[in-house]
Chain A
Amino acid sequence: MTTHAAAVGRAPMPGMEVYNLKLGMWVFLLSEVMFFTGLIGSYIILRFAHPEHFAQPGVVLNVPLTAFNTFILICSSVTMVKAFAAIEQGDQKGLKRWLLATIALGTLFVGVQVVEYTVLASEGFVPMAEAYHAIGRGNPHDGPALGGPLYGATFYTMTGFHGTHVTIGVLCMWFVLWRASKGAYTAQSYGGVEIMGLYWHFVDLVWIILFTIVYLI
C-alpha cells in the first residue's frame, strides 16, 4: 500500500493521523466550546450591565461545598485517565475498576449539586424572576434580598447545563462499562474509552472555568 501511495507521487495520506471516532469527538467538542461561550458571553453582558444583580462571592453561593465538588470532579478526571492508561496496557480489570470509580465520583458530583440546589432554593435563590428573594447563606428568612433575578437565572442555566453534561457523561460511562464488561476494548482497540475520556475531561475543563467565573469572581 505504501508503494501504491508513492506511485501517486505525494505524501502518503491526506487525512489526519487520528481515527474517525476521536476526530468526530474533537469536532463535537468544538461546538460544545461555542455553546458554553454563548452562555458565558450572556453572563458577562448581564453582569456588566447590572452589577447590582450579582452578590459578592460566598454570600449567596456556598464556595467551600463547591470547591469540594470541584475537587471531586478533578479526581474523576484522574480516575478516567487511569482507566484509559489501564486499557492501553490491556488491563481489563483496571479498566473496569477505574471506570466504576469515575462513575461513582461523577454521581457524587451530581448529588452534591442537587443538594446545593435544594439548599439554595430554600434560601430563595431561584431562577424565576418573580419568586427571586435570595437571603444569603444562613441568614434569617426575613432578611433583605441579595442580588437580583439575573443572578439566579444565569447561575442555574450555566451550572445546570454543566450538570446535565455530567449526567449524560455518567450515563454514557455506564454504557462504556457495560461494553468493557463484555470485553469490547483491547490494548489495540480502545476508541470508545478514549472518546469517553475526551468528553469527560472536557466537562471537567468547563467546570474549572465555570467555577471560577460563577462562584469566585
Chain B
Amino acid sequence: METEARHKHPPYMLVWGVLFVLTMVEVFYAFMDIPKVYIAVGLIIMAVWKALLVALYYMHLRFEPKRLWVLAASPLPLVVILLTFVLFENF
C-alpha cells in the first residue's frame, strides 16, 4: 500500500505555505491595472497550479501507481473538449 516516498513525509506544511502565498498573490493580481486577458490567464495558471499541488500532495497522487494517474486524468480531455466547444459558440 505504501511507497517509500510517502514514509518520508510529503512536505505538507511547505505546500500549505505555497497555497497561502499563491492565494494572496491571486487576490492582489486580480486588482492590478492591466488588460483583463492577462489577469484571466494569470489567475487561471495560478489556480491550476494550486489545484495540482492539492491533488499531487494532499491527495497523494504523486505517490500513487501510474494507473491511478491515468484514471484521475481521464475526465480532463472531456473538460477541455466541453469548455473549448462552449467557447467557440460565442465567437
User: A residues near B, CB below 8 A?
Assistant: 16-19, 23, 26-27, 29-30, 33-34, 37-38, 40-41, 44-45, 48-49, 57-58, 63-64, 67, 70-71, 74-75, 77-78, 80-82, 85, 88, 197-198, 201-202, 204-205, 208-209, 211-213, 216-217
Contact = CB atoms under 8 A, between A and B. Distances in A.
Interface residues of B, number: 46
B89 A45 contact: yes
Q: Most chain-B Cβ atoms within 10 A of its Cβ — which of A29, A30, A212?
A: A212
B62 interface: no
Contacts of B82: 37-38, 41
Contacts of B16: 74-75, 77-78
A208 B89 contact: no
Contacts of B39: 216-217
A204 B23 CA distance: 13
A216 B74 contact: no
B5 interface: no
B23 A71 contact: yes
A97 B82 CA distance: 42
B24 to A, nearest CB: 8
Given A30-B72, A78-B12, A217 B30 contact: yes
Contacts of B51: 205, 208-209
Contacts of A81: 10, 12, 57-58
B9 A216 contact: no
A57 to B, nearest CB: 6
B63 to A, nearest CB: 11
Contacts of B46: 212
